[in-house]
Structure 1
């Protein structure tokens, strides 16, 4: 009898402190595990294709695509690190120790923050491209974009280390037994994070895209007027290019999907609840947030012809040929 009880523990040597192993998965749980594994694999694979495409083909080395690349890197890390750990370890015994538990949560929150930062940068890029096309190439350069991306990631790391400093100092403070990796956010910290990491950036994104929409509508009306069209022919540079408008629409869809996936994760803060990552509700909200990383490359595949062309070249291994980086993708 005592032996069977020991087998049920995560750490049998710590009889009084060890957590119990979870019960065997039921059929519905098994189906959910298969679905989560499939989503994890697709997320990592599709985002890796985005990373290879933009990194390899020189024609895709533009400021806008660099921002998409940075977003794809964060989404790829979700599929490579966050999803597998969430799927295989958090539902079972945590054998990696308190330090790895703390590092895992830091990585998870940093990736989420960098995603938000990338969305803000994408919105700023589209704002300048549509609302100030004459100065876009001088204001938004590759070097400046690279600096902004680096600052985005650095600020994400610093911000989350500050927000989670109490958890980092005592990562096992909320564990009820040995073998758990429980992350707890109180209402005050959650509210601060909700404002800094969601409300503020989302406000910026919405304001910029409203401005982009207004300018796009006014440009469309101007194009329909023959009188104004004659005037615009004299200054072609002031006309918004179709490619820029298509990029704005595509990235607008990305931002909309981002809002749909991220907002539910912050709703508990709106009603004054604390968040504990071990709860079932929290797990569902987290996977909805992670699912955003799978949807982004699917949006590119459906709306960007260059992504579909690059996938064919990658899958058929034609990128291994010499000078393949100079291939005509656009």
Structure 2
């Protein structure tokens, strides 16, 4: 299969104003489309299973799982909307019009910002659970977590509305030719966005998880050395193995997110042109949404059990929401 190197016009009828594209051999293009759309479909389906699991089974209505539910919603939107739109943008000309380009930019920023916010909330949840176990039941409640999640999404909408307001008000204002989907920002705005939407949240996440790691190690050493002070005994009784296991699992979730998002933010900071960010970098960033439910399946027995109940349609039975999962 050979790549045709000649550049073709996106819109041949617009000879002087059409963008150009480099085409692939039709068989290779079809294969890539099928593979990429399958990944998009699998991502949406897996995260939909997480959403149904946490929403349906009452035993899973815990603060930590509410945060996982919010993260799964953002990952579901990535698989359902953002991945297919990025496939169109990256592999061919943008044929959906300037308005849809603005909507795509807004959705990408909104979901990205909300995902980072959810990761920060998950880090705070684990920090309180491990470092202040006696106060966790009173400080981290389902009602407070739901409120925090709502504020996280509202903040993401508000922030991206300010960041991309010019593109939303006047779609296509930054496009230099037809068939292009682009967002151009100034250096100052790019630096502010990088600091507020990435560096600050990532710093908070790393600091909190370093603290969790230190406390977990100290507790493990205390148990090995048979330290039996009253305060430590009470702490060890409260911070049980399930909490430490959850911290490790969610720690893996955080590390995977950082590895997938770092190239995107580094390259987008180096370039002020949205369309100049390579599609493979977007693909790596979006791949995080595919990996999250796989992490749940590997480390959470309750997720594997709920998937079985969902696939076999047992959740349609009366009283299935009260089934013991944990």
TM-score, length basis structure 2: 0.90
Q: Which runs of 5+ in 1 are unaligned?
A: 1-6
Counterpart pick for 1:318 among 292, 314, 325? 314
Give the Cα separation in 2 of the matches to 1:90 and 1:265: 15
The answer for the alignment partner of 2:73 in structure 1 is: 73
* Higher mean C-alpha deviation, range 14-23 or range 31-40: 14-23
The answer for the alignment partner of 2:296 in structure 1 is: 300
Secondary structure in 1 matching 2:173: coil
The answer for the alignment partner of 2:4 in structure 1 is: none
| Cα contact 1:186–1:275 (8 A) shared by 2 | yes
| Cα contact 2:75–2:289 (8 A) shared by 1 | yes
CA deviation map 1:201-242 (0-9, x unaligned): 00000100011011111111121233x247469636754111
TM-superposed deviation, 1:89: 4.7
Q: What pairs with 1:1-330 in structure 2 (closer than 5 Å)?
A: 10=11, 12=13, 14-19=14-19, 23-25=23-25, 28-226=28-226, 228-229=227-228, 231=230, 235=234, 239-268=238-267, 273-279=270-276, 281-330=277-326
| Cα contact 2:43–2:79 (8 A) shared by 1 | yes
CA deviation map 1:27-62 (0-9, x unaligned): 555444333222211110110000000000001000
Secondary structure in 2 matching 1:133: coil
Give the Cα separation in 2 of the matches to 1:86 and 1:236: 48
Give the Cα separation in 2 of the matches to 1:277 and 1:25: 27
Give the Cα separation in 1 of the matches to 2:219 and 2:235: 12
User: Compared with structure 1, are the counterparts of its residues 21 and 199 closer, same or farther at alpha carbon in structure 2 (3 Å cutoff)?
Assistant: closer
TM-superposed deviation, 1:268: 2.8
CA deviation map 1:89-116 (0-9, x unaligned): 5533433322221111001110000000
| Cα contact 2:9–2:15 (8 A) shared by 1 | no
Give the Cα separation in 1 of the matches to 2:22 and 2:67: 41
| Cα contact 1:261–1:291 (8 A) shared by 2 | yes
TM-superposed deviation, 1:144: 0.4
| Cα contact 2:89–2:181 (8 A) shared by 1 | no
Give the Cα separation in 2 of the matches to 1:234 and 1:215: 14
RMSD: 2.2
TM-score, length basis structure 1: 0.89
User: Compared with structure 1, are the counterparts of its residues 224 and 237 closer, same or farther at alpha carbon in structure 2 (3 Å cutoff)?
Assistant: closer
- Count of residue pairs brought into register by the alignment: 319
| Cα contact 2:253–2:295 (8 A) shared by 1 | yes
Once superposed, which parts of structure 1, at least 4 consecutive aligned residues long, lie more than 6 Å away?
Answer: none
CA deviation map 1:101-146 (0-9, x unaligned): 1111001110000000000000000000000010101000011000
User: Compared with structure 1, are the counterparts of its residues 175 and 91 closer, same or farther at alpha carbon in structure 2 (3 Å cutoff)?
Assistant: farther
